[in-house]
Structure 1
């Protein structure tokens, strides 16, 4: 999973759930939060099973959580809108090729954290949160938010 950022105090599953819920609160739209085995090293030429999750912060406080037994690719979504998304319903429709074990859209951080813990502990048999690592990816701003600078974009029309 790249670098490991295990937070202090996540040695127990309930502590990890609390940490995940906090980690998904008040984050910018487009942030991606991934968790997987801390010792996993991706090799494109090897077909490896790896239990992992990926959370993507969408608009209006909604987070999409994906669970997989394959390395999840970073999504390139059209927008982060949430209109007409099914909230708090587990989906297994194969919309994402790399998402083997379903996904959910939710505003409930505790529900999402519980789904992560249950995935690793109960389904994948991970013995302890100490075996996991995480990685954050925060979106970039394309243009600075500077009121003094006026951009004439007529040349692009």
Structure 2
């Protein structure tokens, strides 16, 4: 979680509301954006989470949704803090959807990942993981961090109408 937005708490009163908020928001978010969920009271410096920084990975219940091209999402689940990684391409059309896989090139995804082509399913996988592993009655204990996709310098900006503020506004911030 970051200090950039103090209001970046989940803000939903129920897990069902969180699922609806995510499912409704995901189709509007451009490829390359990563949404990380974890304990709202956890603050991590902008330092990379690698072996030189920490002897052991920071333990925390986390989920991550990476918005890919063509309406595909990568949902990652972990018991350690995951980094917002930079992928070579955000086109995962060659990946098999709806198939869990355990190989993780970054070793920060401890409990599997899946490519899905349905925003509702991506939201349900993320929220169900947090509910089942935390045992919390509501998402009050969770926050999120959004890593924006930035256009390459010197190239025309596609002019995406989506902003983080739009995402927060959906929560009533």
- SS of match in other structure, 1:126: coil
Match of 2:23 in 1: 21
Deviates more, 1:129-138 or 1:40-49: 40-49
Deviates more, 1:23-32 or 1:58-67: 23-32
Q: Calculate the aligned-residue CA RMSD, in Å.
A: 2.0
Deviation, structure 1 residue 45: 3.9
Higher Cα Rg, which structure: 1
- SS of match in other structure, 1:6: coil
Deviation, structure 1 residue 54: 1.2
Match of 1:114 in 2: 124
Cα deviation, 1:21-46, whole Å, max 9, x if unaligned, reads 12212211111111111001237547
Unpaired runs of at least 5, structure 1: 147-157
TM-score by length of 2: 0.75
Matches within 5 A, 1:21-100: 21-42=23-44, 44-45=53-54, 47=56, 48-100=58-110
Count of equivalent residues: 145
- Residue 5 of structure 2 corresponds to residue 5 of structure 1: no
CA separation of 1:46 and 1:93: change in aligned 2, threshold 3 A? closer
TM-score by length of 1: 0.82
Deviation, structure 1 residue 94: 3.6
Unpaired runs of at least 5, structure 2: 46-52, 158-173
Please give the alpha-carbon distance, in whole angstroms, between the structure 2 residues aligned to 1:55 and 1:7: 14
